A and B are shown apart, each in its own frame.
Chain A
Amino acid sequence: MNNGSMLRFYGWFTFLGLLVGGLVVLGYYKDEYREWKDYQRKFVQEEIQRAATPQQKAIAESTPVEVRQILLPELNRVDRCTTCHLAVEDPSYGGYEQPLAYHPQHEQHPFEKFGCTICHRGQGRATTTADAHGAVAHWDQPMLPLQYIQASCGQCHEAADNPAAPELAQGQQLFETSGCRGCHKLGGAGGNLGPELDKVGTRRSPEWLKKHFLAPAAVTAGSAMPPQKFSETNLEAIVLFMLSQTGQTAPGYYASMKVIPSADEGQRLFQQKGCIGCHTVAGQGGKVGPVLDDVGLRRSPEWMLQHFRDPQSVTPGSVMPKFGFTETEARALTEFLLHLRERNLASTFPSLMSPVERGREIYRKYGCAGCHGAEAKGSVPNPNAKTAEQVPGLIRVAEGYTKAELKSRIVKGQREIPALDPKRPPPPLYMPAWGAVIKDAEVDDLVAYLISLKPKGEDLGF
């Protein structure tokens, strides 16, 4: 044991001890520094400046610097957005810069019940800007750009019901009429050529969707989907509708709140609850109760609401039972009756339509137009198909097929499409077997529609 070696030991102890101590301090400071603390201090400063009385000032000064969060167990979410966005509920912060801005129009979706990420997406648990806004690696839910925020309405509400989301309704309308269902399944209905779209809104970004609609093969190699010619507004609308497809089902409380008392909802209820058994609308229905076509002119909305709650209270001696409608249902039915005149009632009463009209609806509903063109006029390209490298139009099917043959072709489909040049790749589009998808009665209507397409007054030359 000599002093030299002991001194060497002490030297090493000092060096390594300081090193470990230094690293602990460094680790502590790195952990202590969080950017949200800066925002909170800024907010406290602002509050102190605004304070009019010493009491207010004292309250502002004692605001703790701490993580704030909204716990949403039913949604399996924890939203810590309010850790930085401290003034979302304070209208006096309207027009402030983020993160201290007020969030207008949140009355119908109170934060303590909905949080933030259910509509805005992003990463609710995160407490740094980059992570919370979600455009980081390994987080597949970045914040939805504000221009597409209506897509979030579609997660819970029926697109057409929501007067606050017109673009979403437009997107849905486009989806149903552009033939998308011909190849894509949504909510269980549609073809099998393309992928299901039930969760497409969580998997794809707006940019991807846009590119995809304009040139599918450019983003998905080998895609058979034909490029879509949407106008700029229509493109935005269909992208928005796609983004709304998240496959999420609203749990408990949220499911009970999701119905918007719209005229559309009222129309569905009117049909479901069997009102037509007693009342006549558009010449259809029972004779027990009054005809309702003009009821919107005769009665006030308040009267109707009260009537739905308790018919006898406004019409003594009425034989109409108390149906026990919820407040939402009563409001939706009222809305429907008020706007009865402006509405197309055909879809409420399919029996009002001719088979050909129904067939046209079915042609749209299942997306036949996706391949066979609008009004079955054809001209959708199908490279290397013998039929002029296009999917054939159907306006002349009446000349070549009997009804039974047409029906069989729709039900069984045609997997192998004859190729123009056997050396080139086979034509990408083919006719799926629709038997399992389209109901039998619907196929009859569809055939009636197709037969009806034969150009009128044209001499066939026989």
Chain B
Amino acid sequence: MMNAPFLTRLWQKFTRSRVGRSIFRVGLPQSNLERSQAMTSSFLLHIQPAKVHKHSLKAGYSLGLGLISLYLFIILIGTGVLLMFYYVPSTASAYNTMKDLQFVVSAGLLVRNMHRWAAHLMVLFVLLHLCRVFYTGAYKRPREFNWVIGVGLFLLTLGLSFTGYLLPWDQLAFWAITVGTNIAGYAPVIGAKVKYVLLGGNIVGQEALTRFYALHVIVLPTLALLMVGVHLWRVRKDGGLSRPDEAGEVVEQIPPGQLPVNKSYGLMELARGTSPQVGKNPEDEVFSWPHLVFREILLFLLVTAVVLFLAIFWNAPLEEFANPIHPPNPAKAPWYFLGLQELVSYSAFWGGVVIPGLLVTALLLLPYLDRKRAGVGRWFARERVVANSIFTLCLLAAIVFTVIGTLFRGPNWDWVEPWRQPPAITEGH
């Protein structure tokens, strides 16, 4: 690499120095051996295989949605910790901290904006990731359980966003959580109890704020982090990203007890369940360094740029101080629950309990119900037209109800057309 860029040469110089060698076992890899060593010898990189299938790198296949979700989560942890340096979870101080962040803390507003937009984006991208996995049939054997973990992560994401929603303690927060927890209260038998435990009482108050704070900053993030770890681990152990079965490939279960313990097999990313891919078509695989790692870093930069851009130009909302006796009309839940709120407006039991309950159950059981292997690893495979149609219908319904709840519902949950000015609301005597 005679005419390698300046930074590369500088880096090489550093890694060859005494200090550099003591930190990095392998310098900037020059050979294929070093490329695989770079992956296996680094703590941060070893969670990924030394070689990946070319198919996994195709942007058009995965769209990077899972990684984007992970990066948003990382940004959320970073900005969230910064916010924790200022935030006080008390009904008297919480709102004031929001104001201080905006008016006197250096970059306080920027950090809060980043946290807010990254949170909304994460809900969106986790959902998109779920859709991608469905439309490519990637949840099928041997990845059934990883799909279940993924659904859990989706619910955790909603939980994280929902618990964070209350923390600014403004009118938006107070009433969105009031509406949201009321929906939870519609569940039979346990609903009222769940609501009571969540709020630490019957209405949103200091106890609710304390609980939501604890859930938001320690319980749910720890769980999510753990499950993200398992999720990624299983991606590797289940044979990397899903892809179409290769021609002539024998897909068979390796009987337990005959699992290969060969070390090089381990290195070569051998998956349980399906036959080893390694050696089959070696030319289909490329070294993770740089093909995967570089792409990942670039994607992280892109995600950071988008979040920064949004945070610089659009401020996170902050309404009036929470006022339990003056509900806004209409009081709305966070946007991702507005479809649910719309359903609840027709029937609390059917809309608030039965339909969401069935949907979540269906998502969890999906890989065990839909077991045909045809069409795995291709978008909108013809063989999966029935499953895809059903999923698309459900998705469209969810989108339609959410859009109605968000844009077409005005005071008293009456129908309004967003392009028309709603009538001025005056307080009656």
Chain A interfacial positions (CB closer than 8 Å to B): 1, 6, 9-10, 12-13, 16-17, 19-20, 23-24, 26-28, 30-31, 67, 76, 78, 80, 123, 125-128, 131, 138-140, 194-195, 219-225
Contact between chains at A80 and B103 (CB < 8 Å): yes
A17, A31, A78, A225: which has the most chain B beta carbons within 10 Å? Answer: A31
Contact between chains at B301 and A31 (CB < 8 Å): no
Q: How far is the CB of B339 from chain A (nearest CB, A)?
A: 26
Known contacts A127-B103, A139-B320; is-contact A23 B426 (Cβ 8 Å)? no
Contact between chains at B5 and A140 (CB < 8 Å): no
**B319 CB contacts on chain A under 8 angstroms:** 138
Which residue on A lies nearest to B297, using beta carbons? A13
Contact between chains at B318 and A138 (CB < 8 Å): yes
B302 near A: Cβ within 8 Å?
yes
Near A by CB (< 8 A), chain B positions 49-96 give 92, 96
Contact between chains at B429 and A195 (CB < 8 Å): yes
Contact between chains at B107 and A27 (CB < 8 Å): yes
Contact between chains at B109 and A31 (CB < 8 Å): yes
B316 near A: Cβ within 8 Å?
no
Expressed in whole angstroms, the Cα–Cα distance for A107 and B167 within the complex equals 40
Contact with B5, one of A10, A20, A78 (Cβ below 8 angstroms): A10
**B302 CB contacts on chain A under 8 angstroms:** 16
Expressed in whole angstroms, the Cα–Cα distance for A17 and B305 within the complex equals 9
Contact between chains at B301 and A20 (CB < 8 Å): yes
B207 near A: Cβ within 8 Å?
no
Contact between chains at B428 and A222 (CB < 8 Å): yes
Give the A-B pair count, Cβ closer than 8 A.
80
Known contacts A31-B110, A194-B429; is-contact A125 B320 (Cβ 8 Å)? no
Expressed in whole angstroms, the Cα–Cα distance for A123 and B302 within the complex equals 38
Known contacts A10-B5, A20-B304; is-contact A27 B312 (Cβ 8 Å)? yes
What 10 A-B pairs come out closest when comparing CB atoms? A16-B301, A23-B308, A125-B99, A127-B103, A138-B319, A31-B107, A19-B305, A9-B294, A27-B312, A20-B305
B309 near A: Cβ within 8 Å?
yes
**A67 CB contacts on chain B under 8 angstroms:** 104
**B429 CB contacts on chain A under 8 angstroms:** 194-195, 220, 222-225
Q: How far is the CB of A376 from chain B (nearest CB, A)?
A: 25
B96-107 CB mask vs A (1 if < 8 Å, else 0) is 100110111011
B375-392 CB mask vs A (1 if < 8 Å, else 0) is 000000000000000000
Contact between chains at B428 and A221 (CB < 8 Å): yes
**B320 CB contacts on chain A under 8 angstroms:** 138-140
Can you list 9 pairs linking A and B with CB atoms under 8 Å apart?
A13-B301, A16-B298, A16-B302, A67-B104, A127-B103, A138-B319, A138-B320, A220-B429, A221-B426
Chain B interface main SS type = helix
Which residue on A lies nearest to B309, using beta carbons? A23
Contact between chains at A125 and B96 (CB < 8 Å): yes
Expressed in whole angstroms, the Cα–Cα distance for A27 and B103 within the complex equals 15
Contact with A128, one of B103, B106, B110, B428 (Cβ below 8 angstroms): B103
**B106 CB contacts on chain A under 8 angstroms:** 31
B414 near A: Cβ within 8 Å?
no
Expressed in whole angstroms, the Cα–Cα distance for A24 and B170 within the complex equals 29
Q: How far is the CB of B292 from chain A (nearest CB, A)?
A: 12
Known contacts A220-B428, A222-B429; is-contact A20 B103 (Cβ 8 Å)? no
Contact between chains at B305 and A6 (CB < 8 Å): no
Near A by CB (< 8 A), chain B positions 295-326 give 297-298, 301-302, 304-305, 308-309, 311-312, 318-320
Q: How far is the CB of B136 from chain A (nearest CB, A)?
A: 25
Expressed in whole angstroms, the Cα–Cα distance for A195 and B428 within the complex equals 9
Q: How far is the CB of A404 from chain B (nearest CB, A)?
A: 34
Contact between chains at A220 and B308 (CB < 8 Å): no
Which residue on A lies nearest to B294, using beta carbons? A9
Expressed in whole angstroms, the Cα–Cα distance for A17 and B304 within the complex equals 10
Range for the number of chain B residues in contact with chain A: 20 to 34
B290 near A: Cβ within 8 Å?
yes
Contact between chains at B311 and A125 (CB < 8 Å): no
Q: How far is the CB of B185 from chain A (nearest CB, A)?
A: 28
B246 near A: Cβ within 8 Å?
no
Contact with A125, one of B92, B100, B308, B427 (Cβ below 8 angstroms): B100
Which residue on A lies nearest to B291, using beta carbons? A5
Expressed in whole angstroms, the Cα–Cα distance for A24 and B92 within the complex equals 33
Expressed in whole angstroms, the Cα–Cα distance for A194 and B429 within the complex equals 6
**A31 CB contacts on chain B under 8 angstroms:** 106-107, 109-110
**A123 CB contacts on chain B under 8 angstroms:** 99
**A9 CB contacts on chain B under 8 angstroms:** 290, 294, 298
Contact between chains at B305 and A28 (CB < 8 Å): no
Contact with A80, one of B104, B287, B304, B427 (Cβ below 8 angstroms): B104
Q: How far is the CB of B348 from chain A (nearest CB, A)?
A: 30
B99, B103, B309: which has the most chain A beta carbons within 10 Å? Answer: B103
**B290 CB contacts on chain A under 8 angstroms:** 1, 6, 9
Which residue on A lies nearest to B3, using beta carbons? A3
Expressed in whole angstroms, the Cα–Cα distance for A220 and B429 within the complex equals 7
Near A by CB (< 8 A), chain B positions 89-137 give 92, 96, 99-100, 102-104, 106-107, 109-110
Q: How far is the CB of B118 from chain A (nearest CB, A)?
A: 14
**B309 CB contacts on chain A under 8 angstroms:** 23
Expressed in whole angstroms, the Cα–Cα distance for A351 and B273 within the complex equals 101
Expressed in whole angstroms, the Cα–Cα distance for A78 and B5 within the complex equals 54
Contact between chains at A76 and B318 (CB < 8 Å): no
Expressed in whole angstroms, the Cα–Cα distance for A76 and B95 within the complex equals 12
**B305 CB contacts on chain A under 8 angstroms:** 16, 19-20, 23
Contact between chains at A28 and B107 (CB < 8 Å): yes
**B103 CB contacts on chain A under 8 angstroms:** 80, 125-128, 131
Near A by CB (< 8 A), chain B positions 129-164 give none
Known contacts A20-B308, A220-B427, A221-B426; is-contact A27 B110 (Cβ 8 Å)? yes
Known contacts A80-B103, A80-B104, A126-B103; is-contact A27 B428 (Cβ 8 Å)? no
Which residue on B lies nearest to A225, using beta carbons? B429
**B428 CB contacts on chain A under 8 angstroms:** 220-222
B278-296 CB mask vs A (1 if < 8 Å, else 0) is 0000000001001000100
Contact with B312, one of A6, A13, A30 (Cβ below 8 angstroms): A30
Contact between chains at A23 and B312 (CB < 8 Å): yes
Which residue on A lies nearest to B321, using beta carbons? A140
Contact with B92, one of A13, A76, A131, A223 (Cβ below 8 angstroms): A76
Which residue on B lies nearest to A127, using beta carbons? B103
Expressed in whole angstroms, the Cα–Cα distance for A128 and B104 within the complex equals 10
**B104 CB contacts on chain A under 8 angstroms:** 67, 80, 125, 127
**B294 CB contacts on chain A under 8 angstroms:** 9, 13
Q: How far is the CB of B221 from chain A (nearest CB, A)?
A: 24
Expressed in whole angstroms, the Cα–Cα distance for A250 and B327 within the complex equals 27
**B304 CB contacts on chain A under 8 angstroms:** 20
B408-429 CB mask vs A (1 if < 8 Å, else 0) is 0000000000000000001111
Q: How far is the CB of B1 from chain A (nearest CB, A)?
A: 8
Q: How far is the CB of A333 from chain B (nearest CB, A)?
A: 40
Known contacts A20-B308, A125-B100, A139-B320; is-contact A220 B5 (Cβ 8 Å)? no
Contact between chains at B110 and A17 (CB < 8 Å): no
Which residue on A lies nearest to B317, using beta carbons? A138
**B109 CB contacts on chain A under 8 angstroms:** 31
